[in-house]
Amino acid sequence: MNLKAVLFDLDGTLHDRAETVRRYLAGHVRRFDLPEGYAERWTVLDDFGYRSKAEVFPQLVAEFGLKHNPQALLQDFSDHAWADCQPMPHSHEVLAELRRRGLRLGLVTNGWSDKQRRCMAGLGLADAFDTVVISREMGCAKPEPRIYTLALEQLGVRADQTLFMGDSPTNDVLGPQQAGMKAALVPGGHALPGHIRPDYLLQDLRGVLDTLEPER
């Protein structure tokens, strides 16, 4: 594939969100002396981050019959969750290699501006991209077509020159394909519905390098 640009998802793709959350929950459980099973249930209710924590904590308090104020648990999440963001294996080497091959790089992520930018800084990726598109800053979110075309406009490339990489079948494969891009799915635990067909199904981030034209 003769590419000019690669657009990346952040959470579950370049950011090992599952590992970051595991580390946060270990501290959270210690700080509040939370019961066995709490961390596992938190992870289920969180649904890869798609569920608001303003709903998750009150539900946990109710389910486990806790005496804690849900607001205090939520504050702990704001204070600590993204303090030690973990990169996905190979993220830095893959971005550097794509850059070396002359590709434009972008990030398209759903989420809050502060949180996603703090995460990028923690991962050492604050300056890694030619454009960063965060849904809350733009007033549109994946998989709405507008968010993908905004990123393409900012990079000055066409959809058919661009590969999107991410772990969500809907947001990172179907949406980008409907906008005219090719899409590569990296494994992240999301089930792949039968009607969604990634152009590339990768084992890990390094697989993107095999989709490029060989160097001459």
Site string for Mg ion, 153-182 (x = CB under 5 A): --------------xx--------------
- Among positive and negative, which fits the CA dihedral 206, 210, 212, 216? positive
Amino acid making up residue 136:
R
Note whether 16 binds Mg ion by CB under 5 A.
no
Interface with Mg ion (CB under 5 A), residue from 3, 7, 12, 169: 12
Site string for Mg ion, 108-147 (x = CB under 5 A): ----------------------------------------
d(CA 187, CA 168) in angstroms, rounded, equals: 9
Interface with Mg ion (CB under 5 A), residue from 3, 5, 11, 148: 11
Shortest distance in whole angstroms from residue 168 CB to Mg ion: 5
Range 51-85 burial, b when 16+ CB lie within 10 A, else e: eebeebbeebbeeeebeeebeebbebbeeebbeeb
Which residue is at the shortest CB distance from Mg ion?
12
d(CA 159, CA 148) in angstroms, rounded, equals: 9
* CB closer to Mg ion, 8 vs 77: 8
Shortest distance in whole angstroms from residue 13 CB to Mg ion: 5
d(CA 83, CA 30) in angstroms, rounded, equals: 16
Note whether 9 binds Mg ion by CB under 5 A.
yes
Compute CA 37 distance to the chain's CA centroid, rounded to the nearest angstrom. Answer: 26
Task: Select from 215, 216, 157, 146 the least CA-distant residue to 182.
Answer: 157
Shortest distance in whole angstroms from residue 161 CB to Mg ion: 23
Shortest distance in whole angstroms from residue 200 CB to Mg ion: 16
Binding residues for Mg ion (CB under 5 A): 9, 11-12, 167-168
